Amino acid sequence: MNIREIFALNLRRLRNAKGLSQEELAHRADIHRTYVSSLERCVYSPTIDTVASLAEILNVEAFELLVSNGRSNIKNTAESSPESPSDS
For 48-69, how does the pLDDT look when each residue is reduced to its tens digit (9 = 90+)? 999 999 999 999 999 999 999 8
pTM of the full structure: 0.77
CA distance 70 to 54: 21
Supply the CATH number for residue 53's domain: 1.10.260.40
Query: Which tens digit of pLDDT belongs to each residue from 2-56?
Result: 999 999 999 999 999 999 999 999 999 999 999 999 999 999 999 999 999 999 9
Structural contact between residues 39 and 46, judged by C-beta atoms closer than 8 angstroms: yes
Cα gap 64→55, rounded to integer Å: 8
The answer to whether residue 88 is domain-embedded is no
Domain count, the chain: 1
Q: Provide the residue range defining the domain that includes 14.
A: 3-80
Q: Residue 47 — left, alpha, or beta (φ > 0 → left; ψ -120 to 50 → alpha)?
A: beta
